[in-house]
Amino acid sequence: MLKYSVVLILFIFLLISCGEKTDKPANDLSGDNKFTFDSTNLKTEGIDQSGKPFLMEYKFKKGDKHLYRVTSISKNTQKLEMDTTITSGVDQKIVYLIDFEVKDVDKDGTTEAELKINSIKLNAEVNKEKFEFETEKDTDSSKLVQFAEYHSLHNNPFSVTFNKKGEVMEVFRAEKISNKFLELKGAADTISANDRNSIRQDIIAGILAPLVTQIIRKLSDKEVYKDSTWELKQAPVSMMVYQINYVNKYKVENVEKLDDHRIAVIDASISFDYKGQSKISQGNVTYNFDKPKSTAEGKIYFDVDQGLQLKSRTKTSMQLNYSMEANTPQGKQKGSRSDLVTNTNIVELIK
């Protein structure tokens, strides 16, 4: 049977239109409030009337310190129909509190920053079985091993460099994280140097870089104002029998004011183009794939004068269906499978 694996593509710049809301201030970090995200629109203080176009650039200074809350919510529902119907699902919410400290900024605006995840809370449900983990509370050795990939992130800093247009150049100094992960898994003294390096790179590519690019987003290289648009073409991604070509699209919905700063309110979306054969055969089994259905939308709030992101809400959704038909000694057998995957991300500047 054809190996089937739905790729959870994290299109890092898109929006969520629902979620938790709290009457507490966003910077209230007492108790569980620090894990309570706010997905509502940023409350601004009016419209910028200057009419003057501007460049969006990051304007960090050496010694700047910030705290971001990044909330990632994913849901994957699978339905397999053969002789019987089997439905399974995964729901997961992870909240990260991330310290962000600027270590250096060169004359061209290239910034080196140190990030430290000071708190994580995970809530998940897998086929109706619930799981919870919180870095400050769950110190039992069995839980630390079970959630090693999260505990290893806790209070172990790593570094990133990016330019003033938000292009992330490198995520590095992640050795403390990978070493802690191997220690928790009992492999620190037995793993080869090559495998140790591969695990570190997997952590960077799979966890750290996606978190960084939620906070540091690539910006337009031209002057913009209300109704300005721009696009960023991405490298193709392979999924199943398809090659996905996609383009990030942005539009400045409005220029608003907050604390006398100009706030660019940016709508974000993605255009998808799927290429590939929808029908393939492997052995005595024939597979027919429907073209995936994808949606993506987002809203980003960028402080033009301070030169940083204040908030963003993102959501992507993908549905993939395929059917199969096999000739067996018992006759022709048919089946089908469908997957619906949604990813939502909320970024908030707490201070």
Q: Where are the domains of the chain?
A: 1-57+224-346, 58-218
Q: Phi/psi at 202 (nearest 5 deg)? A: -65, -40
- Return the CA Rg of the chain: 22
Query: E strand or H helix at 90, and its extent?
Result: strand 85-105
Residues shown for the chain = 351
Give the H/E segment covering residue 141: helix 141-146
- CA distance readout (Å), 81 to 129, 156, 322: 22, 45, 11
SS3 (DSSP) at 339: strand
The three-class DSSP label of residue 266 is strand
Rounded Cα distance between 311 and 323, Å, is 41
> pLDDT in tens for each of the 351 residues of the chain?
333 333 333 333 333 333 344 444 456 676 678 888 888 899 999 999 888 999 999 999 999 999 999 999 999 999 999 889 999 999 999 999 999 999 999 999 999 999 999 999 999 999 989 999 999 887 778 888 889 999 999 999 999 999 999 999 999 999 999 999 999 999 988 999 999 999 999 999 999 999 999 999 999 999 999 999 999 999 998 888 999 999 999 999 999 999 999 999 999 999 999 999 999 998 899 999 999 999 999 999 999 999 999 999 999 999 999 999 998 888 889 999 999 999 999 999 999
Burial of 335 (0-12, 13-18, 19+ CB in 10 A): middle
Tokens at 338, concatenated: 């469908």
Report the DSSP beta bridge partners of residue 187.
Answer: none
Q: d(Cα 248, Cα 270) in Å, to the nearest integer?
A: 5
N-to-C CA span, the chain: 52
- Torsions phi, psi of 334, nearest 5? -125, 155
> Angle at the Cα of 145 (from 142 to 150), degrees rounded to 5?
125
- Residue type at position 236: P
